[in-house]
Structure 1
Amino acid sequence: MALPKIADAIALTDEELAAEIIAVKRTLFDLRLRQATRRLEKTHEFKHNRHKLAQLLTVEHQRKTAKV
């Protein structure tokens, strides 16, 4: 599984972007829960989801500052 590309985040609408941010945060929570209960097998998912969340938040911030 390759790291997500920023072009994927840029292509989303504002509503899709907000929904995707919530989904990734929920996924990270679930990963932390699985890690705490020692049921986590794919530890690389942390890196991929944190990377994706950073990209989504960056695009969201860029759009907010561009509107001002």
Structure 2
Amino acid sequence: MKILSSSTIRTLDSKQIQVEIVNLKKILFDFRLKQATRQSIKPHLIQMYKRQLARVMTIEHQQNIGKNLST
């Protein structure tokens, strides 16, 4: 999965953002599963995907606030 920049995420519509959030949560779940079964993982990837998830969720929240204020 490619890491998206903030400007790229802002161009996505709300459904695409929701899909991105679900995909990132699945990836993080898979990392936790591998970690629990003591399979080899790259710890820096967990941190990278966590930050990406936070970035996407923050932008989603900002867009929702903007929509609520404009109505």
TM range (shorter): 0.7 to 0.9
Q: Is the 8 A contact 1:4 1:51 kept in 2?
A: no
Q: Any unmatched runs of 5+ in structure 1?
A: none
Higher relative contact order (CA 8 A, sep 6+): 1
Calculate the aligned-residue CA RMSD, in Å: 1.4
Name the count of aligned residue pairs. 66
Q: What pairs with 1:1-68 in structure 2 (closer than 5 Å)?
A: 4-68=4-68
Larger Rg computed on CA atoms: 2
Q: Is the 8 A contact 2:24 2:53 kept in 1?
A: yes
Rounded Cα–Cα distance in structure 1 between residues aligned with 2:11 and 2:63? 12
Q: Any unmatched runs of 5+ in structure 2?
A: none
The percent identity for this pair of structures is 33
Tell me: CA distance 1:51–1:4, structure 2 relative to 1, closer, same or farther (3 Å): farther
> Match of 2:17, as an amino acid?
L
Please, what TM-score do these two structures have when normalized by structure 2? Answer: 0.83
Q: Is the 8 A contact 1:4 1:48 kept in 2?
A: no
